[in-house]
Amino acid sequence: MRTLPLFFVVASVLAATAPANLALAQSTPSDVRDLVGARGSSGEQALTSRGYVNTGGQTGDDRVWTYWWNQQRGVCLTVATVGGRYDSIVSGPAADCRRTAGPATPPAPPAPATASGQTETIQFARGASSASRQATITGRQTRSYLVTLRAGQTLNVNLQTSNRSNYFNITAPGAQQALFVGSTSGARYSGRAPSNGVYKIDVYLMRNAARRGESARYSLTVGAR
């Protein structure tokens, strides 16, 4: 069993004496702040999709600590899970992730949530502002949908599925991480496009369901106005 990092002990003491929202803002990186409170399985999928790799962990009396390394950013996270949910996420030294500190590698193109699959461009019929697509995915398969938007347009996406482990992610043009992660945010999205370009919607199964070879029959409705 690994020794609990000193920085985490100190962080825990500080958190107990400072307002909760202040401690969160100071210790939790902004790109993973939304995952505090997420279920462990959902959080694992989200961290992986954002470029983090699990490098190990340890178990305490009432919680489990796991360590996540992001090579592109040179960031090591310590995630504390209590009762099946992420209780805290704090950054620490690279050594906690069994890595050597140094400059981060150049950004790489964003990877899909699972193995790549078919890609389809969605074009709305004349006079229509939405379109629906039905398909089935199995295991690590994904299906991707591309839709071109103008900055300020509202994108609406709704997923109806036969499998509760079936979700979708949305990635903005040129982005290094998903704009929306369904496994932590649900099966519906509505938001304004931050820039002009082609937005990608990836439909996938969560890792545990994919490993079991499960299938999902789904209907995806995409609208823009």
- The 10 Å CB-count burial string (b at 16+, else e) for 80-101 is bbeeeebebbbbbeeebbebee
Mean predicted confidence (pLDDT) in 134-156: 95
- Domain residues for the domain of 63 are 6-97
Structural domain includes residue 105: no
Question: Average pLDDT, stretch 4-21?
Answer: 47
> What pLDDT band is residue 115 in, cutting at 50, 70 and 90?
very low
Distance CA 35, CA 53 (A): 15
How far is the C-alpha of 23 from the C-alpha of 27, rounded, in Å? 6
CATH number of the structural domain spanning residue 178? 2.60.120.380
Mean of pLDDT values over 20-48: 76
Q: Does 155 lie in the same domain as 125?
A: yes
How would residue 224 be classed by pLDDT, with cut points 50, 70 and 90? Answer: very high
Percent over 70 (pLDDT), the chain = 81
Residues 11 and 80 in one domain: yes
**29-to-24, 33, 75, 90, 128 alpha-carbon distances in Å:** 9, 6, 9, 7, 41
Between CA 20 and CA 11 the distance in angstroms is 12
Q: Is residue 197 part of a domain?
A: yes
Radius of gyration of the chain, Cα coordinates, nearest whole angstrom: 19
Question: Within a domain: residue 161?
Answer: yes
Q: List 215's β-bridge partners, or say none.
A: 138
Q: Are residues 91 and 124 in the same domain?
A: no
Residue 41: the pLDDT is: 81
Residue 130 lies in a domain: yes
What integer is the mean pLDDT of 61-70?
Answer: 85
Residue 4 pLDDT grade (very low, low, confident, very high; cuts 50, 70, 90): low
Q: Which of 110, 131, 118, 33 is nearest to 79 (CA)?
A: 33
Residue 40 CA to residue 160 CA, distance in Å, equals 23
Tokens of 131: 């379109």
For range 24-40, the mean pLDDT? 80
Over 50: is that where the pLDDT of 108 sits? no
